[in-house]
Amino acid sequence: MTKFSAAVALLPVALVVGAGIGVTMHLLGPDYLSATPALILFTGLAAFRMTTVHWYAAYLAKGKTGVPPLLTGLNAIGVTLGTLIGIRWGLTGVAIGVTVPSVLVILLAINVFLRRVLTVEYWPALRAPLAAAAASTIVLCAPQLLGADISLPGPFWALVAIATATHVVLGLVIDRRELRQLVGRLRPGESDPR
């Protein structure tokens, strides 16, 4: 669950990190270019939440129903205070004010409370998605560093398509054995080898 959530969630992160200004300009318009840092922060936070979403289900499956409301309350307080403090610095300040407490609460959830009900190793699960996201980020950054103009819609969307294909293909190649096993277990009439 962690691996495949990260594989999906890290592609938008790669896109906004590698070509954030282009993403903002072509999706929202030039009037919103100042919102690019906030878009990057919120996309990163969404990916982090999506990758670690299993903690909530793990608590409930183990009957630890008191932990999610506690963490939700901590998150609500942290995000409210962060927003009140960050609003002085505009949208980026609000994004930081929301992101920091949310990340800290998730880290508390998975590194303190989750360890009492379930052991999860993240790095083995995240290696392939992180490698694919890094490669697609490089694909996005390289032409810009070499001076290519991607401000026009045609070159920009072509670059996004190439970066997306890189992310998907590299992820499939790295995980090909595990994906074959997963498909084998899902075929009708075949029993689960585990």
Between 192 and 1, where is the model more confident? Answer: 1
Q: Which amino acid is at 179?
A: L
- pLDDT computed for residue 16 by the predictor: 95
- pLDDT computed for residue 60 by the predictor: 78
Structure tokens that stand for 61 in this block: 């499956």
Tally of domains within the chain: 1
Q: Tell whether 193 is covered by a domain.
A: no
Q: Tell whether 25 is covered by a domain.
A: yes
- pLDDT computed for residue 189 by the predictor: 59
pLDDT one-digit tens code per residue, 8-21: 999 999 999 999 99
Structure tokens that stand for 112 in this block: 């303190």
Q: Is the dihedral of CA 165, 166, 169, 175 positive or negative?
A: negative
Q: Tell whether 173 is covered by a domain.
A: yes
How many residues appear in the chain?
194
pLDDT (mean) for 16-45: 93
**Pick from 14, 18, 71, 13: nearest CA to 42:** 13
Residue 93 lies in domain: 2-186
- pLDDT computed for residue 174 by the predictor: 87
Residue 185 CB neighbours (<10 A): 12
pLDDT one-digit tens code per residue, 71-130: 899 999 999 999 999 999 999 999 999 999 999 999 998 888 888 877 778 888 899 999
Q: Residue 105: CB partners within 8 Å, gap ≥ 6? A: 71, 74, 75, 78
Q: Tell whether 194 is covered by a domain.
A: no
- Is it the case that residue 163 has pLDDT exceeding 70? yes
pLDDT one-digit tens code per residue, 51-76: 988 777 778 777 777 888 888 999 99
Structure tokens that stand for 47 in this block: 């990916």
Cα of first residue to Cα of last residue in the chain, in angstroms, is 17
- pLDDT computed for residue 190 by the predictor: 53
Q: Tell whether 192 is covered by a domain.
A: no
Q: Tell whether 191 is covered by a domain.
A: no
- pLDDT computed for residue 80 by the predictor: 96
Contact 61, 84 (CB under 8 A): no
